[in-house]
């Protein structure tokens, strides 16, 4: 199959490119420097010329707190930009796989969020990701898969483990919030799932939840990262109120799927962390 990957230079995009190539597909890469998805004419021209069977849209505004200060710019990428990709892909005869977020939920549940649960984003970032879901569904009503995932981390870009490793290397103590719970998702695992979804004989239409197995708080995640690194830094829990951020985060955003075999099941988050640690050559991968 012929794949086109938008946002191909990003953390997830790099892993999707690698996964698609490893599976033997023809892969065309579109990093932001070569295709700004905010430009609808450019998207139509580039993806039309590519004639892809599948476009995996990894292009996104990912600065959650930054979106609070500049929601219009975040919306241009995550909302209208996502629609531009889906529209151009549909015109070219391809299938759109679009990546969305757990931040479309408000975190008020205490059991896993399913695809049919009501959305109620708390932040500008969450609102822009929800706008993207709706734009994709409108632009490609019968030729799209929207994959909601959560707490992405990978070797190809800034992420929570990288931040924790950097801070732990220079401090004796770290405080990390323990009242936000989710599913850390290794981009290497998610990338394989996206390629799997895209290449099925009958791709899943609509929204599918795909996130790392198991659950943890940011504090538990950080503690495991530091433990595996061999650092002597002590990780202590704190509350969200103790560490206020510009954007509100859902207190609980565990994702699971109600779509049975249509939804890929990812390995447990600790396995993803082990692969991440090995890939960046820090500490033990066991």
Per-residue pLDDT reduced to its tens digit, 28-73:
999 999 999 999 999 999 999 999 999 999 999 999 999 999 999 9
Q: How far is CA 86 from CA 46, 48, 49, 124, 162, in A?
A: 13, 11, 15, 22, 32
CA distance 247 to 270: 27
Taking residues 91-105, what's their average pLDDT?
97
Selected catalytic residue, list 103, 125, 219, 252: 125
Taking residues 229-256, what's their average pLDDT?
95
Q: Using the structure block, give the residue that is written with the tokens 């895209």.
A: 198
Q: Using the structure block, give the residue that is written with the tokens 């939804």.
A: 263
Is 125 among the catalytic positions?
Answer: yes
User: pTM score, two decimals?
Assistant: 0.95
CA distance 253 to 237: 19
End-to-end CA distance of the chain: 35
Supply 239's token pair: 């509350």
Taking residues 6-20, what's their average pLDDT?
97
Tell me the angle at which helices 160-168 and 218-229 cross, rounded to the nearest 10 degrees.
60
Which residues sit opposite 216 in a β-bridge?
A: 182
Taking residues 101-119, what's their average pLDDT?
97
Q: Regarding the domain delimited by 2-157+185-213+253-266, which CATH topology (the fold level of the hierarchy) does it fall under?
A: Rossmann fold (3.40.50)
Per-residue pLDDT reduced to its tens digit, 203-224:
999 999 999 999 999 999 999 9
């Amino acid at each position: 199959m012929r794949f086109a990957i938008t946002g191909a230079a990003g953390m997830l995009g790099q892993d999707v490119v690698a996964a698609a190539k490893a599976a033997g597909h023809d892969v065309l890469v579109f990093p932001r420097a070569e295709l700004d998805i905010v430009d609808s004419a450019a998207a139509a021209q580039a993806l039309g010329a590519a004639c892809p069977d599948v476009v995996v849209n990894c292009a996104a505004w990912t600065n959650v707190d930054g979106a609070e200060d500049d929601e219009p710019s975040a919306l241009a990428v995550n909302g209208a930009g996502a629609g531009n990709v889906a529209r151009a892909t549909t015109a070219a005869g391809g299938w759109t796989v679009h990546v969305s977020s757990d931040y479309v939920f408000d975190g008020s549940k205490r059991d896993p969020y399913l695809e049919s649960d009501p959305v109620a984003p708390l932040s500008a970032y969450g609102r822009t990701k929800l706008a993207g879901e709706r734009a994709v569904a409108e632009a490609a009503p019968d030729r799209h898969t929207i994959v909601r995932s959560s707490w992405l981390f990978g070797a190809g870009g800034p992420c929570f483990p990288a931040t924790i490793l950097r801070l732990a290397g220079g401090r004796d103590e770290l405080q990390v919030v323990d009242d936000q719970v989710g599913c850390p998702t290794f981009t290497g695992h998610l990338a394989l799932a996206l390629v799997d979804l895209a290449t099925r004989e009958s791709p899943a239409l609509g929204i599918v939840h795909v996130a790392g197995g198991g659950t943890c708080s940011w504090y538990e995640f950080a503690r495991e990262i530091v433990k595996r690194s061999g650092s002597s830094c002590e990780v202590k829990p704190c509350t969200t109120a103790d560490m206020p951020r510009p954007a509100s985060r859902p207190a609980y955003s565990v994702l699971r799927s109600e779509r049975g075999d249509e939804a890929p099941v990812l390995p447990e988050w600790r396995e993803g962390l082990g692969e991440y640690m090995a890939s960046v050559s820090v500490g033990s991968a066991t």
